[in-house]
Amino acid sequence: MPSAAYVSPDEIRKGFSKAMSDMYRDEVPLYGALMALVAETNSRVLSADPGLARQLRRTAEIERLDMERHGAIRLGTAEELATISRLFAVMGMQPVGYYDLTPAGVPVHSTAFRAVHEHSLQVSPFRVFTSLLRLELIENPELRAFAEQALAKRAIFTPGALALIAQSERDGGLNAQDADEFIRQALETFRWHHTATVTAAQYQQLSDQHRLIADVVAFKGPHINHLTPRTLDIDQVQAAMPGKGITPKAVIEGPPRRRCPILLRQTSFKALDEAIAFTDAQGSHSARFGEIEQRGVALTPKGRALYDQLLNAARDALGAFPNESNAARYVALMEQHFQAFPDDHAQMREQGLAYFRYFATEQGLTARGHADQPQTLAALIAAGHVAVEPLVYEDFLPVSAAGIFQSNLGDAAQSHYAANANQAQFEQALGRQTIDELQLYGETQQRSIDECLKTLLK
Ligand code: OOG
Ligand code: NI
């Protein structure tokens, strides 16, 4: 079959992201309420801030904003992780980054599956934060063996999904009909199950070890546990949430509010307990929650080091895990420490703290070929022939992710694992290496420079 008959992986991802969002909205009505609030806030922010609207038009982010979201799942075995990697590859999603959550007392390590090229991200920026449970961290050998057996028994992919993954790998793609069927089949892996695979007592034992372990081991599949829309002003949405019957966590994760947002700010709300049936009794389980995020500019290694340093200093000064009772002090400490981080795109660029994208302006295009046209990037920028826009951060933050996990699991879930990064073990399970996100940002930035120079200086 000619490859033109195949649907592009980007389109499959776009269709899957929409199908997932529809499924989740049906299952978790609060997600629908949150999406409406975010859309309302975004349009208000865009009309009040023409500069931001111009920036998002130039980078074309404005076109992807409404469909922008990420989700998260937690897997139980290496085999599940390796297969999900193949499933996501059908949709053009690759594992980017490695996150060790053990320092925060969460016995998982994680990656984010997402598109890696700016053109693909533009079609659909859908991402899935994907964690693998680390059973080796369960101290009780009997419970560990029980968890292993329960996980070995389950099959989280439908036979149809497995067949279409293999077909896509073999043929190099899927036609329209197969792509639609793939989306339907793949969605089943992420669906909520009202029945657990264990008894109430077994659930309790798993949960006593760690609530997250029960969430993974006691069910037939890795239900999507949240879907997160992107807002242009997270403080406004956070403030408006209670009015919509949604109670957010006390502290927004990530950097403090700034004129020029950096990286990622996130806040979540805890989902209600949901009724489920154990094999021998009725009960309830709480796993699904809601989250919103605001994305800012991606930082270079130098910028990221400064971010980590200031975040750690503020947290050290707080001397405790941020919570409801110390939230105001935490916000003040963060604002105070982050004064050391320039809040200005030009300064961030001059100091090599962030990544940017470069665009030829109308003025530059008009001046093309003129004898006095500037010949270097710096001169083109100075003359207004090239505009500079922040390159949006597409990834996650381990400290923030830990805060999101904790708020959802409840403070009682805090355990004390030693920091225990093991990227090699994770990649062994995954069946491939994870991609370094910093390299991706560097490549996107360089492509935009090359494109500008090619357009303006030919
Ligand atoms: C994932 C939590 C991390 C984020 O946005 O940082 C996350 C989970 O609870 O499974 O989604
Ligand atoms: Ni999230």
Exposed (0-12), middle (13-18) or buried (19+): which is 13, by Cβ within 10 Å?
buried
Residue 374 lies in a domain: no
Q: Are residues 18 and 103 in the same domain?
A: yes
> What pLDDT sits at residue 361?
95
- Tell me the C-alpha distance between 117 and 97, whole Å: 15
- Nearest ligand to the CA of 400 is 1
Q: For atom 4 of ligand 1, which residue has the closest CA?
A: 401
Residue type for 274, please?
E
Instruction: Evaluate: CB of 24 within 6 angstroms of ligand 1.
Output: no
Residue 8 is given by DSSP the state P
Q: Which residues pair with 358 in a beta bridge?
A: 388
| Most informative mutation of 100, 111, 211, 226 for ligand 1 (most atoms within 8 A of CB) | 226
With 70 as the cut, is the pLDDT of residue 417 above it?
Answer: no
Instruction: Evaluate: CB of 72 within 6 angstroms of ligand 1.
Output: yes
Beta strands 290-295 and 264-269, pairing class: antiparallel
Domain range for residue 244? 9-297+394-435
- Cα of 347 to ligand 2 centre, how many Å? 30
Residue 363 lies in a domain: no
Residue 442's pLDDT band, with cuts at 50, 70 and 90, is very high
Q: Are residues 255 and 124 in the same domain?
A: yes
Residue 37 lies in a domain: yes
Q: Are residues 304 and 292 in the same domain?
A: no
Q: How many CA atoms lie within 13 A of 114 on its CB side?
A: 30
Instruction: Evaluate: CB of 224 within 6 angstroms of ligand 1.
Output: no
- Tell me the C-alpha distance between 77 and 429, whole Å: 8
Q: How many domains does the chain have?
A: 2
> What pLDDT sits at residue 59?
92
With 80 as the cut, is the pLDDT of residue 331 above it?
Answer: yes
Q: Are residues 310 and 192 in the same domain?
A: no
Beta carbons within 10 angstroms of residue 167's beta carbon: 16
Residue 378 lies in a domain: no
With 50 as the cut, is the pLDDT of residue 413 above it?
Answer: no
Q: Using only the alpha carbons of the chain, give its radius of gyration.
A: 23
- Cα of 371 to ligand 1 centre, how many Å? 54
| Most informative mutation of 74, 81, 228, 405 for ligand 1 (most atoms within 8 A of CB) | 405
Report the nearest atom of ligand 1 relative to the CA of 268: 5
Residue 35 is given by DSSP the state H
Q: Are residues 143 and 282 in the same domain?
A: yes
pLDDT, tens digit, for every residue of 377-391? 999 999 999 999 999
> What pLDDT sits at residue 4?
56
Closest CA to 196 of 100, 259, 121, 274: 274
With 90 as the cut, is the pLDDT of residue 405 above it?
Answer: no
Rounded alpha-carbon distances, angstroms, from residue 87 to 63, 112, 183, 270: 26, 14, 10, 29
With 70 as the cut, is the pLDDT of residue 453 above it?
Answer: yes
Q: Find the angle CA(110)-CA(120)-CA(222) to the nearest 5 degrees.
A: 35
Q: What is the CATH number of the domain that holds 129?
A: 3.10.180.80
Lowest mean pLDDT among 258-272, 334-348, 407-421: 407-421
pLDDT, tens digit, for every residue of 104-153? 888 999 999 999 999 999 999 999 999 999 998 888 899 999 999 999 99
Residue 350 lies in a domain: no
Q: Are residues 268 and 328 in the same domain?
A: no
- Nearest ligand to the CA of 108 is 1
pLDDT, tens digit, for every residue of 3-35? 558 999 999 999 999 999 999 999 988 888 899
> What is the value of pTM for the model shown?
0.95
Residue 442 lies in a domain: no
Q: What is the dihedral of CA 154, 156, 161, 165, to 10 degrees?
A: -100
- Cα of 268 to ligand 1 centre, how many Å? 10
Closest CA to 338 of 270, 231, 257, 272: 257
Rounded alpha-carbon distances, angstroms, from residue 106 to 49, 133, 218, 404: 39, 9, 17, 11
Question: How large a percentage of the chain has pLDDT more than 70?
Answer: 97
Rounded alpha-carbon distances, angstroms, from residue 28 to 149, 266, 271, 456: 31, 19, 9, 50
Instruction: Evaluate: CB of 266 within 6 angstroms of ligand 1.
Output: yes
Q: Are residues 257 and 321 in the same domain?
A: no
- Nearest ligand to the CA of 291 is 2
Q: Are residues 89 and 173 in the same domain?
A: yes
Rounded to 5 degrees, φ, ψ at 131 are -110, 150
The whole-number average pLDDT for the span 81-106 is: 95
- Cα of 272 to ligand 1 centre, how many Å? 17
Closest CA to 165 of 221, 88, 111, 75: 88
Contact 210, 141 (CB under 8 A): no
Instruction: Evaluate: CB of 289 within 6 angstroms of ligand 1.
Output: no
With 60 as the cut, is the pLDDT of residue 1 above it?
Answer: no
Task: Indicate the average pLDDT of the chain.
Answer: 93
Q: Are residues 140 and 189 in the same domain?
A: yes
Residue 156 lies in a domain: yes
- Tell me the C-alpha distance between 356 and 152, whole Å: 46
| Most informative mutation of 129, 294, 399, 400 for ligand 1 (most atoms within 8 A of CB) | 129
The whole-number average pLDDT for the span 247-261 is: 93
The whole-number average pLDDT for the span 365-381 is: 91
Residue 366 lies in a domain: no
- Nearest ligand to the CA of 72 is 1
- Cα of 306 to ligand 2 centre, how many Å? 23
pLDDT, tens digit, for every residue of 204-215? 999 998 899 999
Contact 246, 270 (CB under 8 A): no
Largest CA distance in the chain: 83
Report the nearest atom of ligand 1 relative to the CA of 291: 5
- Tell me the C-alpha distance between 213 and 244, whole Å: 32
Contact partners, residue 199, CB within 8 Å, separation at least 6: 278, 279, 280, 281
Rounded alpha-carbon distances, angstroms, from residue 343 to 49, 55, 256: 17, 16, 11
Q: Are residues 212 and 326 in the same domain?
A: no
Q: Are residues 326 and 203 in the same domain?
A: no
Instruction: Evaluate: CB of 288 within 6 angstroms of ligand 1.
Output: no
Q: For atom 5 of ligand 1, which residue has the closest CA?
A: 401
- Cα of 293 to ligand 2 centre, how many Å? 8
Q: Are residues 124 and 178 in the same domain?
A: yes
Closest CA to 209 of 133, 266, 280: 133
